[in-house]
Structure 1
Amino acid sequence: MKFLGELDPVATQRTQTCNVRLVDPNRLQAIQDTGLMDTPREEAFDRLARLAAQLLHVPLTIFSLVDADRQFFKADFGLPSPFKETRTLPIDASLCRYTLEGESIISSNALADPFLRIHPSTGPWGIVAIIVLPLINPDGHVLGTFCAIEPKVREWTEQDLTVMKELTASIMTEIHLREQIQKLKAEQRLRETFVAALTHDLRTPMTSSKLQLQLLGRRHAELPTVQTAVTRVSQSLDRAERMIQDLLDASTIRAGKLVSLKQSACDLQELTAETLQELAEVHRDRFVLKSEGSIPMFADPNGLRRIIENLASNAAKYGAPETPIEVLLDRSQDTVALRVKNQGNPIPEGELQTIFEPFHRSRSATDSGHKGWGLGLLLVRGFAEAHGGKVTVTSSYQNGTCFTVTLPLAPSQGAVH
């Protein structure tokens, strides 16, 4: 850049060190990681620029990013044409590039400043009083600047500087939060890919183990001890297989897709009674089924069973001990409602909105000491929605906790048969 005069030794040293920072690959990568270069205007940042202009009573405020080739105006208040339209400035015309060592530029009268008065942008931009604060990320890289410009001489007060510093910190907080969200999303995608690959790869040894176990049982059918061991191992393998399927289905649901269904004619009342009878072996006779009789429907029997298992098991584990758990089936003309109701401490109101999220466990579930992955209710919601239905929950001290799954009696058009 050609200055309009000779720089003193201090200013010369500053320009040289900032020029080195300008092309620092780590700094440029940090700018790229923000994902903000060449993006549209956003109210989150425009609001801060507008607020700075209002609090300082200045006509121009700008939030910029400075890369190796140009200065990009991400947000502003009062930016003139043509910059308001192009939102860029060639790097050779940039004043903000001289904050890349982390030093601010603050002047009450640029025309009397030995550095600013010979900068080629001072006159054309009408810069007289100016505050330019660097935007520094946690790694110490200067991403850009937040500045306020006044076209007349002005002595900046401590209050003015405090306002600018606080708003600059707010910009960096917004940038940092966005970067953390992007990292979390990337980690989530990686976890989901890992889980999908792991569960898929586990299927082969699981299938092989079950076949070998069946062969062992047939070879030693006359030995009771062997048959007992085969039964126990087989039950453990079945449980592991269900856990694998839960992980696969949870990954599908989290991806915003419907789980696959194999629909056929079935009876919800009969399915519910059978499922509760199996659960009673673990949770004793706490389940009370109330139904007006047979409820024929066209659905996925396995999906319905998993809905009932998860809701009934949760009610038994997290509800008040030794109290009955009501399972009610109410049929209307086109739908059926499955309600699972238990007594005990209610689910906190703040958690009712997040209880169906993956890996979420309510405070009461965590405090209970029962182990779990926090996938059960996600699967309930996923299977309900795959059938074209929905699930809701209410919870209070007076009425207990009640999960209601509403399902259509006819097959869902979106389901996979």
Structure 2
Amino acid sequence: MKFLGELAEADLGRTQRCNRRLTDPNRLQAIRDTGLMDTPREEAFDRLARLAADILHVPLTIVSLVDADKQFFKADFGLPSPFKETRELPIDASLCRYTLEGEPIISSNAPADPFLKFHPSTGPWGIVAIIVLPLINPEGHVLGTFCCIEPRVREWTAHEITVMRELTASIMTEINLRNQIQKLKAEQNLRDTFVAALTHDLRTPLTASKLGVQLLARRHADIPTVQASVARVTASLDRAERMIQNLLDASQIKAGKRVTLTVSECDFHEITVQTLEELSAVFTDRFVLKAEGAFNMVADPIGLRRIVENLASNAAKYGAPGTPIEVLLSRSGGRVTLQVRNQGTPIAESDLLTIFEPFHRSRSAMESAQKGWGLGLPLVRGFAEAHGGTATVTSSAQDGTCFTITLPLNAASPELFSALSEPERVNTNEPSRLRS
């Protein structure tokens, strides 16, 4: 655009540098990434425009984005017609474009300013005293401006300029937080897509491998060594399948979704016994089950098994070696409580706050020789909550570490599971020790 007079060399250099910045593709992409261009008014930005007008006692404040071909008014206080309706200004008429180097425009008397007096918008807009501060993102790109305009000569105080700078920082905080949320959503979508593709691609060769192993077992049913090898391979493939399912479920939980349940009538006591017997083959004779009678439930049997499996195996891995691991089942009204308790180094208080988060591993777990992804406990809580229940943990040097899972007896009717009080301690029956 043409100024209405000859600019000083320094001012001319500023306009030329800002003009080059105007069409910088990285800057324009940064504006697109905000998702704010050509969007409706929002109270989050209008509030800051009103606040600036109220504190500084000015009739006009504007939050703008400066694109390559126009200046878009995202928020304002006192914007006159027709700009209040169109909410944009052709870029050739924009004064804010000359902050794209990151330098503000501050003047107490624009008609007497050697730079501003030649700008064609100064007169028609009634600009006399003005503060224009650039909105600069963390990468250093100027997205737009926050400005206040006074139609009379006014000496801005240091306090008033500070107020405008602080409010400008608040605008950028709002924009940056929104950008972070958008990035997190994009990362979440990418992760979900990746996990879905990974689980699909891995399950196909696993299924083919299992079919091949089963065929091999049938062809050589009379050779014990082959059968032993087949059993080991099948167990490894089953474990790989469980790991894939754990990853898929953990991704769902991290995305704020509940894991899918397939409920049926089942006996939690029987499921616990079977699971602990299988784990005893790996962790020897350490599990002590305290329970009495059947625990008939309407629940997901596989989900219940995975709760017991994860808690019991964690207790065996990270508890004091050789010490017994207590597994307690109790009933109270319409709910059942599972507790898994082990002795050993307590979980740090800071880790107790995040121990159920996906991919989190406590400090003691990372310092141990045990490898893991940090998925077991998030899955325990995920299955508990999907049933309408809760998962909690306590840990101290004196009492050991105790994970408590409380579930409704009928997961198909979560409304029967009212707000839980602190689970009462189970009766200490004679322990039934499980043999491998």
1:356-401 Cα distance to aligned partner (Å, 9 max, x none):
2221222332233421111112221222233333323334445443
Q: 2:83, 2:89 within 8 Å by CA — same for their partners in 1?
A: no
Q: What is the CA-CA distance between 1:140 and the residue it aligns to?
A: 4.1
**CA–CA separation in structure 2 for the residues paired with 1:321 and 1:53:** 68
**CA–CA separation in structure 1 for the residues paired with 2:164 and 2:264:** 66
Of residues 262-271 and 36-45 in structure 1, the stretch that sits farther from structure 2 once superposed is 36-45
Q: 2:188, 2:255 within 8 Å by CA — same for their partners in 1?
A: no
Query: What's 1:31 paired with?
Result: 31
**Structure 1 residues 65 and 399, CA gap change in structure 2 (3 angstroms):** farther
Query: What's 1:312 paired with?
Result: 312
**Structure 1 residues 405 and 81, CA gap change in structure 2 (3 angstroms):** farther
**CA–CA separation in structure 2 for the residues paired with 1:351 and 1:37:** 42
Of residues 123-132 and 186-195 in structure 1, the stretch that sits farther from structure 2 once superposed is 123-132
Q: What is the CA-CA distance between 1:409 and the residue it aligns to?
A: 1.8
**Structure 1 residues 54 and 314, CA gap change in structure 2 (3 angstroms):** farther
Query: What's 1:207 paired with?
Result: 207
Q: What is the CA-CA distance between 1:112 and the residue it aligns to?
A: 0.9
Q: What is the CA-CA distance between 1:324 and the residue it aligns to?
A: 3.1
Where structure 1 has 5 or more consecutive residues not aligned to the other structure, the ranges are none
Q: What is the CA-CA distance between 1:85 and the residue it aligns to?
A: 5.2
**CA–CA separation in structure 1 for the residues paired with 2:119 and 2:281:** 84
- Give aligned pairs, total: 412
Of residues 399-408 and 346-355 in structure 1, the stretch that sits farther from structure 2 once superposed is 346-355
SS at match of 2:361: coil
Q: What is the CA-CA distance between 1:74 and the residue it aligns to?
A: 3.5
Taking every aligned residue pair, what percent have the same amino acid on both sides?
A: 73
What's the Cα RMSD here?
3.2
Q: What is the CA-CA distance between 1:82 and the residue it aligns to?
A: 4.6
Map 1:191-340 → 2, pairs under 5 A: 191-340=191-340
Q: Which amino acid aligns with 2:269?
A: Q
Q: 2:263, 2:412 within 8 Å by CA — same for their partners in 1?
A: no
**Structure 1 residues 344 and 74, CA gap change in structure 2 (3 angstroms):** farther
Query: What's 1:189 paired with?
Result: 189
Q: Which amino acid aligns with 2:187?
A: E
**Structure 1 residues 254 and 25, CA gap change in structure 2 (3 angstroms):** same
Q: What is the CA-CA distance between 1:157 and the residue it aligns to?
A: 5.6
Where structure 2 has 5 or more consecutive residues not aligned to the other structure, the ranges are 415-436
Q: Which amino acid aligns with 1:228?
A: A
Map 1:104-183 → 2, pairs under 5 A: 104-156=104-156, 164-165=164-165, 168-169=168-169, 171-183=171-183
Q: What is the CA-CA distance between 1:339 and the residue it aligns to?
A: 1.8
1:15-67 Cα distance to aligned partner (Å, 9 max, x none):
45534543444322210111222445566656765676677676654432111
Q: What is the CA-CA distance between 1:197 and the residue it aligns to?
A: 1.1
Q: 1:72, 1:87 within 8 Å by CA — same for their partners in 2?
A: no
SS at match of 1:212: helix
**Structure 1 residues 229 and 169, CA gap change in structure 2 (3 angstroms):** same
Of residues 119-128 and 141-150 in structure 1, the stretch that sits farther from structure 2 once superposed is 119-128
1:90-149 Cα distance to aligned partner (Å, 9 max, x none):
134432122223332122321211222243433454433323222233444321113344
Query: What's 1:103 paired with?
Result: 103
**CA–CA separation in structure 2 for the residues paired with 1:47 and 1:346:** 49
**CA–CA separation in structure 1 for the residues paired with 2:386 and 2:150:** 60
Residues 1:385 and 2:379 are matched in the alignment: no
Q: What is the CA-CA distance between 1:175 and the residue it aligns to?
A: 3.3
**Structure 1 residues 318 and 199, CA gap change in structure 2 (3 angstroms):** same
